[in-house]
């Protein structure tokens, strides 16, 4: 499944964020108001997403299920950087 990934511009601590995944080519105006009103959306990339994919900070199977059911998937993420 081709998926467009958007980063949601929110005031969050450094190293944290929210990504929006939708089927590639989705008109964002067709998304529910609760999604459109999250914040400014910045297109990041288009990816091929399969249920068997192993991705950092993303449960591919859950994302595909949510996209199929709701038309979108919201993914919160947090990045911890540690020096060794």
* pLDDT tens per residue across all 84 residues of the chain: 999 999 988 765 555 678 999 999 999 999 999 998 888 899 999 999 988 888 777 889 999 999 999 999 998 865 666 677
The whole-number pLDDT of residue 14 equals 57
In Å, how far are 15, 31, 32, 33, 45 from 26, measured between CA atoms? 27, 9, 12, 15, 13
The whole-number pLDDT of residue 54 equals 80
The whole-number pLDDT of residue 78 equals 59
CA pair distance 34, 29, nearest whole angstrom: 11
The whole-number pLDDT of residue 44 equals 95
């Amino acid at each position: 499944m081709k998926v467009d990934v958007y980063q949601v511009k929110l005031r969050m601590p450094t190293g944290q964020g929210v990504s929006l995944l939708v089927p590639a080519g989705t008109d964002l105006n067709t998304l529910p108001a609760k999604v459109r009103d999250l914040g400014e959306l910045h297109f990041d990339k288009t990816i091929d997403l399969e249920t068997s994919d192993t991705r950092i900070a993303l449960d591919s199977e859950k994302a595909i299920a949510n996209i199929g059911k709701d038309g979108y998937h919201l993914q919160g993420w947090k990045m911890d950087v540690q020096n060794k």
